[in-house]
Structure 1
Amino acid sequence: MDRRPVYYAVRMGVCVAVYVASWTLFALVGDSWLQLLVAALLAVVFSQFGFLAHDLGHRQVFRTRPPSDLAGLLFGNLAIGLGWGWWNSKHNRHHANPNHEDHDPDVSPAVIVFSADQVARSRGLPRLIARHQAFWFLPLLTLEAWHLHVASVKALFKPGARRRWQELGLLAAHFGAYFGAVFAVLPPGKALAFLAVHQGLFGLYLGCTFAPNHKGMPVLTKEDKLDFLRKQVLTSRNVRGGPVRDVLLGQLNYQIEHHLFPNMPAPNLRRAQPIVERYCAEIGVSYLQTGLVASYRQALGHLHEVGASLR
């Protein structure tokens, strides 16, 4: 549980340096279709900033709230246009009740449905998509970044929003600089293509990182009465991997350990993993760890199975 200040100082420094270098490259490339490659690079950089904002939200970096909030606002609102307050609140509700139909916002049937019960209650677009939602899932993720941006702004106009003007100001600064730079350097057609590639891949990357963690795992209802350990472990899936995969997945591939110890610094999760796995075996709690491809197969297979009744 010890903090890792050197690790996070280096990680933040590298991310900021690559962020600045990527936008410098954007300016140097200028009016060229090669900007689509820069857009793909920036999608990766934005996602890594998202992972840092996630760790800050769990206070993995700083022990106290003020520095965590300040860094979260800078890495979230200002750098990538993701509302820190809204996302943090939403994510904490997910951690409190993972994969719970009534309490986890990540399994609310906004477009995708996650259980036969939700299929039976679905109407309109979710019901139409549910028939073949496993095939729609990845294409829909290309819209996820836009959804996060819009939801971030909408949340700040709701009653009781904290830090409304600070967050709105930082979001306005981000989008003003972002769209201003894109349309100042590129003609309209290339600018729109850049936005489509950058935001599409940004959403796809984030979605593909989070999807293996819980999709295809048991969906809980009010009938399920589980203790904390079982609620977290039985609804989560780990993804095996080495250092490269850990970096690409923001170390969220140790999802079981992260849910049991959400404020444990991310680089320590791999050390906790064998301890947690052994303990679960001792007490007879199912502990699922699989490869990346198998995790997607399980998640998409579950979504396809859920929509079977409509086919």
Structure 2
Amino acid sequence: MTIPTDTAPATRSRTSGSGSGSGSGSDFARLSRRVTEAGLLERRPGYYTARLGLVIALLAAGWGAFLALGDTWWQLAVAAFLALMFGQVALVAHDLAHRQVFGSARRSEIWGRLFGNLGIGMSYGWWMNKHTRHHANPNHEELDPDVSPDILVWSTEQARNSRGPARLIGGHQALLFFPLLTLEGFNLHVSSVRALRSPSMKKRGLEGVLLFLHIVAYVSALFLVLSPGKAVAFLAVHQCLFGVYLGCTFAPNHKGMPTFTGDDRPDFLRRQVLTSRNVRGGRLTDVMLGGLNYQIEHHLFPSMPTPHLRRAQVVVREYCAEIGVPYHETGLIRSYREALTHLHRVGEPIRQRRKES
């Protein structure tokens, strides 16, 4: 297990019988009973009706402003606003994937594809597959796709064995982390389209049609309303800021927390708590991070509605103290500092190799 120097969908929780003694006596089972008895797993249809309605209205208002303004450089302000809205749509799609909104898988998939594929050009099926594997084994270097060494390296062992872009970038990845996030929006679109070639993706035809409609409508709107130069500038600002916002939303959650390899796989509760970091903050933090600032609670109870996570934190934190499980929580700025410090530290083998060559 790799521990940083400065730190101590599944769409539903699939592991109520996992971990240190499956069954009613496990640590997680006892915690789950407390959470259930507190009513924290009950659905919040009113909250989600208001949230989905507000996000749709703001997204529509952004595109309405785009059409009303016409061919002007003020459109770059609209691009920044729509980047924020695309991030909020992605967070709604995340909640839909975890069935926080609807109990029905069919309804969740329908709305998830509308928000993901059609709304922001991100394949719901591709992301769902990737995110499910992440939730099952967070920060496991062989099993979690979010810590695979494609571009960045997440442990010294990955750094020693790095090849290609990871070897080129890894030595200075802490400095390059935020600049690389400007490409994350483009990466989501490209990965979504590439995933359509996979025969394992469900409803590839529907996914492809919705992605095609989004791309055509998006590009057509830009080049019909704006001059070519302004259209390219709008696209760059919009997609780069979208990538930065989305990356900043997810980066504090696990980056720089312990990683696992091979059979080093503790029970469910410890697997989720030890690899996750909570971010302190008020209601604005809750809104901007979509509730993912309560990452520990979210990983323990993926189907828990977002507005219940704040209350669940009190229960989970107290329970972890009772059973002696480290519970890591920090401020937003420090969460990025911890992540970047970890990225710099694990890149040392690459820097050392360059000095020796």
- The alignment's TM-score, normalised by the length of structure 1, stands at 0.99
**Structure 1 match to 2:75:** 35
Whole-angstrom CA distance in 2 between matches of 1:15 and 1:143: 24
Q: Does structure 1 residue 306 correspond to structure 2 residue 346?
A: yes
**1:63-97: CA deviation from partner (whole Å, max 9, x where unpaired):** 11011001001000001001001101100100000
Q: Secondary structure at the match of 1:109?
A: coil
Whole-angstrom CA distance in 2 between matches of 1:169 and 1:225: 40
**1:118-173: CA deviation from partner (whole Å, max 9, x where unpaired):** 00110122111011100000000110111111111111111232101111000011
**1:195-252: CA deviation from partner (whole Å, max 9, x where unpaired):** 0000000011000000000000001111413000000000000000111110000110
**Structure 1 match to 2:183:** 143
- Where do 1:94-133 residues align within 5 Å? 94-133=134-173
What is the aligned counterpart of 1:5 among 45, 54, 61? 45
Q: Does structure 1 residue 193 correspond to structure 2 residue 233?
A: yes
**Structure 2 match to 1:66:** 106
Q: Does structure 1 residue 48 correspond to structure 2 residue 96?
A: no
Q: Contact conserved, 2:286 with 2:292, CA < 8 A, in 1?
A: yes
* TM-aligned CA deviation for residue 108 of structure 1: 0.5
Structure with max Cα Rg: 2
Q: Does structure 1 residue 240 correspond to structure 2 residue 280?
A: yes
**Structure 1 match to 2:298:** 258
**Structure 1 match to 2:328:** 288
**1:236-271: CA deviation from partner (whole Å, max 9, x where unpaired):** 000001111100001100000000000000110111
Counterpart of 2:256, as a letter, is G
* TM-aligned CA deviation for residue 10 of structure 1: 0.3
**1:270-303: CA deviation from partner (whole Å, max 9, x where unpaired):** 1100110000001100000100000000000000
Q: Contact conserved, 2:160 with 2:350, CA < 8 A, in 1?
A: no
Q: Runs (4+) of structure 1 moved beyond 3 Å? A: none
Whole-angstrom CA distance in 2 between matches of 1:138 and 1:86: 24
Q: Contact conserved, 2:222 with 2:231, CA < 8 A, in 1?
A: yes
Deviates more, 1:95-104 or 1:220-229: 220-229
Counterpart of 2:266, as a letter, is L
Whole-angstrom CA distance in 2 between matches of 1:60 and 1:193: 37
**Structure 1 match to 2:118:** 78
Unaligned runs of 5+ in 2: 1-40, 352-357
- The alignment's TM-score, normalised by the length of structure 2, stands at 0.86
**Structure 2 match to 1:152:** 192
Identity %: 61
Q: Secondary structure at the match of 2:237?
A: helix
Counterpart of 1:116, as a letter, is T
Which of structures 1 and 2 has the larger relative contact order (alpha carbons within 8 angstroms, sep 6+)? 2
Q: How many residues of Structure 1 are paired with residues of Structure 2 in the alignment?
A: 311
Q: Contact conserved, 2:96 with 2:102, CA < 8 A, in 1?
A: yes
Counterpart of 1:212, as a letter, is P
Counterpart of 1:187, as a letter, is S
**Structure 2 match to 1:181:** 221
Counterpart of 2:337, as a letter, is R
Whole-angstrom CA distance in 2 between matches of 1:62 and 1:192: 38
* TM-aligned CA deviation for residue 116 of structure 1: 0.5
What is the aligned counterpart of 2:242 among 197, 202, 223? 202
Whole-angstrom CA distance in 2 between matches of 1:85 and 1:159: 12
Counterpart of 1:232, as a letter, is Q
